[in-house]
Structure 1
Amino acid sequence: MNAVLKRKVLYVQVQFESPVNVSSGENEVTDSDVLRECNGTPFITGSSLAGAMRAYIEKEKSEPCLLGYSDGDAGKMSSLFISDLTFEENPVIGVRDGVSLSDKKTAVMQSKYDIEILEAGVKAHFYLELVIREKDDEMLMEQELATILCGINAGEIRLGAKKTRGFGEFKIIRLSEKVYSKENYLEYAESYNLEKWGNCSNKLESWIKKASWSPKVIHVDVPLRMKGGISIRRYAARKGEPDYVHLTDHGVPVIPGSSFAGAIRHRIKNILNELVQAGVELPKDIEEIMNLSFGYVKDTQACASNIIISEAEIKGAKPMTMIRTGVSRFESAVKDGALYKEKTYVDGKVNLQLQIRKSADPRDEKWILGILLLALKDLQNGYLAVGGQTAIGRGVFSEDKPMLIDGEKGREDKLIAEILTNMTVNRGMEG
């Protein structure tokens, strides 16, 4: 007999910091539509939340943990029950286009796709119910749950598709708690009634303090200033709008993580090729480094990116609408029917945020971070442009404030020097 002693129900209110796509598997509107209830309202299933939480605490389904396990004849049901996530307001639904690019920044044939998203800024809530039984270690269970809460607020637990390119980030803004035992078990019937949680205090800080937590990633912040305009196009479909407008989310101009990732990946590959030509012996071959750093999918094998790049808002930018026309490079004359109107943004500030997953072998994360920092320095110095129309000066940045690595400034030069010093030179290629 292992009777239930108490139930702790947590009301968790969150706000999405970036767009999210939890797919329904349908493709009626786009190639990947968001999940909806029968009345058309978007939601996120509790199983999606549970999967993200289990992955974060790095427990297989056969390993004992808060979320239960099954191993042959042994096992235990989950002590943590997770409700679906419900949005508290009608989220703004948008569509994002994507295309695979070659190393030469040209589109790969038949690689165009679009996905439906819920735009950032929307608030939502879900419930967590922790069941404490006679033989359970309540303190250990709460500590494990608190670790999950820390992971959410550090941006290390994300939901849905394209998590490594900025999607699915959310933060807890309120956490309230009610405890039900044999003294008040009748009140448990109202535990999932939203109206009953209105006057409850916010216990988030007290829960965070229960965690024995350390980050699973290295956090890098790169404050940038735009030196001109930016052009990541969204094609307008409404009458009276410009033909092309820069991408926005919840009314704010943004640079998607995929745009930064494409530019940074291309620059890192160039840097690696130059190091090899200079006779430097890399820790792995170039293809393996790129796959390990940015992930890959090949037949039945896949690896998630170890470099996570967030979507960045452009703050303080000025909108600029201009009328342009295509010009024939051979005749130096205007092309017929090539007149178009474009809306871009200029002179803004961007805080690029990246994460590098920590490895079981610290040497891996060091050289991945070191090579990444080389590309980020190029971005800061205006040598690496992002987005479209880079040939006419779009997408160029300069340093706005010092780069931060895990909250500390001034570390990048030392880390770059360390990784380059540890790489050996092939003596046969010198001279």
Structure 2
Amino acid sequence: MPMERLKRQYQRHIVRRIIVRGALMLDTSTCLSSGDNDGLIDLMLVRDSLENKALLTGASIAGALRNYVREYRGYNALDESQLFGCQRDERDGEQSPLIVYDSISSDNLKAELRDGVKIKSITGTAEKGAKYDLELLEAGTKFNLCFELLIDEQDKNENILIGELAVALSGLQQGEISLGMKKRRGFGRCHVKEWQVWYFNLEDSDDRTAWLNFEHWCTGLFPNYPTYPSIQEAFEKAGIQLDISAQDKRDRFSIQAIFQLASPLLIRSGQDSSGCAPDVVHLRSHRDGQLKPVLSGTSLAGVLRHRAERIVNTLGKHQAIVKELFGFVEEDSKQAKASRLVVHESVIEHWADLVQNRIAIDRFTGGAYHGALFSEQPIFGSDETRLTLELELRQPRNAEIGLLLLLLKDLWTSDLPVGGESSIGRGRLQGLEATMTRQIPGEAIQTWTISQDGERLQVSEADADALETFVSDFSGEVAA
């Protein structure tokens, strides 16, 4: 750090302040847990100590924004410390000029419970002692966000700071930033629908007085102040000129595929959230004020990982590509790597549920077990039933894209069941339509479409051979 910055690192002379407020809404269930398991639930939500409301900490928001800006600017770009301050291991780093405030939910806390379990890849059964439960915030929960950007008189990169802040907040606005835990398994998706921006020039006496009289303690949006759906428009209306010169350098491959149910689907719910009598009901989650059946991202990711391991094992090669794709935790060496594959949660539309009675049979006598009668309520589909699977692979390699295409093929042809009780024919999907996009920094976005036309598969003619090239690269890399 330059000496002049060291001399004044504890005595910043703030000349301008920008205050931003936004109304954030959760689109999917969100796990805002502290990681403590002192209660009856393994992962409990963080609550406000005074009210029965959920707490969204400023550290969680800032961490998500920082990671988004890092991906947007490219992993090999300069560090984003200009806006978010130094890293934890930097002893002489600078303080962040951006203040991110804690946020409390507008309404009382509404939670739903989910169960999770680790599956053995060899046997396909649950691993002993690996079951856990977690508490989630319902979709539709609202938070009022507040940010404050401090601009020092010595800062010559004011436009860069404002531009990076606009990029980060645009990610929130467009729903490209997720919050909380298990973000890459469909939890924590959100968006901001309204913005308010104030610009104070503290070198001007009127603006200085206005900032002193500003209601800093107000936690929500100001009802008498104009709101804007776009953060760029809100900045411009506040008299702030944006200079967003940073190019989007995110490298992604995404799949959006529409399926219908070829057989009943059952993903066991940890709680009887619908109040039904059956012993086992399908997993449901709150969407638009209603309980709707969902295909959870954790279930789908587990199924995809197991099939990917099977494909690689069939070829007799190493599982490194699977670990790089789905993440891993090495307990012996304490090494861990997050998944680069984002698997979103899917809502099932136009469904029907029926109660089925079943009984356990003694394999020795062929008779029924005493007291082993139980009932289930799976999801049944029709010609109108639809669910959309969304997958996003970050920093992809061609071989990894090829493996994803093989997994999509198995789902499409009903060869890869999802959920429980696949041994009795449940959980099979039938592909209808899929759109795949490849975004490479500095290049035009490539798009492929696949649709089912009776017994024939229609593939877009635009560079269709590239899909086959991805699979060939996977086969060649694994074989190597």
TM-score by length of 2: 0.79
* 8 A Cα contact 2:186 2:345, kept in partner: yes
Q: Tell me, in whole angstroms, the C-alpha distance in 1 between the residues paired with 2:299 and 2:399.
A: 23
CA distance in 2, matches of 1:204, 1:227: 41
Distance 1:202 1:325 in 2: 58
1:369 to 401, 405, 412: 401
Q: State the partner residue of 1:163.
A: 183
Give the match for residue 343 of structure 2.
309
> Residues 148, 342 of structure 1: CA spacing in aligned structure 2 closer, same or farther, 3 A cutoff?
same
The answer for the alignment partner of 2:19 in structure 1 is 9
Q: Secondary structure at the match of 1:129?
A: strand
Instruction: State how 1:196-207 maps to structure 2 within 5 Å.
Output: 197-199=222-224, 200-206=226-232
Tell me the SS of whatever aligns to 1:99. Answer: strand
Q: CA RMSD in A?
A: 2.9
- Residue 266 of structure 1, CA deviation: 1.3
1:232 aligns with 267
2:308 equivalent to 1:268: yes
User: What per-residue deviation string (whole Å, max 9, x for no partner) do you get for residues 296-355 of structure 1?
Assistant: 111211000111101111111112222322233444433221222222222131111111
Residue in structure 1 matched with residue 415 of structure 2 by the alignment: 383
- SS of equivalent to 2:308: helix
Residue 144 of structure 1 deviates from its aligned partner by: 0.8
Contact 1:254 1:313 in 2 (8 A): yes
Alignment counterpart, residue 149 of structure 2, candidates 120, 130, 133: 130
- Say if 1:258 and 1:19 are closer, same or farther in 2 by CA, change over 3 A: same
Secondary structure, counterpart of 2:426 in structure 1: coil
Match of 2:39 among 24, 28, 38: 28
368, 388, 392: which one aligns with 1:355:
392
In structure 2, distance between residues paired with 1:293 and 1:154: 25
In structure 1, list runs of 5 or more residues that go unmatched.
277-284, 359-363
Alignment check: 8 A CA contact 2:400 2:474 kept: no
Q: Within the alignment, does 1:37 sit opposite 2:48 as a pair?
A: yes
Cα distance in 2 for partners of 1:151, 1:198 equals 25
Q: Tell me the equivalent position of 1:279.
A: none
Shift of 1:101: 0.3
**CA-CA distance at 1:156 after TM superposition:** 4.2
For residue 153 of structure 2, what is the amino acid of its counterpart? E
Structure 2 partner of 1:333: 367
Change (3 A) 1:392 1:145: same
Superposed displacement of residue 374, structure 1: 0.8
Question: 1:54 corresponds to which residue?
Answer: 66
Question: How far did 1:69 drift?
Answer: 2.0
Cα deviation for residue 371 of structure 1 reads 0.5
User: Is the partner of 1:198 in helix, strand or coil?
Assistant: coil
Does the residue aligned with 1:315 lie in a helix, a strand or coil?
A: coil
Give the structure 1 partner of residue 278 of structure 2.
242
CA distance in 1, matches of 2:90, 2:372: 67
Code of the aligned partner of 2:267: I
> Out of 408, 411, 414, which is 2:447 matched to?
408
Residue number in structure 2 paired with 1:176? 196
For 1:409 and 1:61, the matched residues in 2 are separated by 33
Q: Which residue of 2 aligns with 1:252?
A: 292
* Contact in 1 for aligned 2:255/2:436 (Cα 8 Å): yes
Residue 282 of structure 1: aligned partner: none
Return the alpha-carbon distance in structure 2 between the equivalents of residues 271 and 73 of structure 1: 47
Distance in 2 (alpha carbons) for counterparts of 1:259 and 1:113: 14
Structure 1 equivalent of residue 131 of structure 2: 112
**1:425 CA drift (Å):** 6.2
Which of 75, 85, 93 aligns to 2:93? It is 75
1:379 partner amino acid: L
Change (3 A) 1:308 1:62: closer
Change over 3 Å in CA distance of 1:401–1:47 after alignment to 2? same
> Given that residues 15 and 172 in structure 1 are in contact (C-alpha distance below 8 angstroms), is that contact kept between their aligned partners in structure 2?
yes
Q: Secondary structure at the match of 2:256?
A: strand
- Once residues 298 and 4 of structure 1 are traced to their aligned partners in structure 2, the CA distance between those partners, rounded to angstroms, is 46
Question: Could you tell me whether the CA contact under 8 Å between 2:272 and 2:281 is conserved in 1?
Answer: no
Change (3 A) 1:423 1:383: closer
Which position in structure 1 is the counterpart of 2:454?
Answer: none
Measure, in 2, the Cα distance between the counterparts of 1:310 and 1:57. Answer: 21
Amino acid at match of 2:371: G
Match for residue 149 of structure 1? 169
- Alignment partners' CA distance in 2, 1:271 and 1:424: 10
Do the aligned residues in 1 keep the contact of 2:19 with 2:198 (CA within 8 Å)?
Answer: yes
The equivalent position to 2:323 in structure 1, one of 291, 303, 308, is: 291
Give me the whole-angstrom Cα distance separating, in 1, the residues matched to 2:62 and 2:113: 26
| 8 Å CA contact retained: 1:174, 1:202 | yes
CA distance in 2, matches of 1:294, 1:158: 18
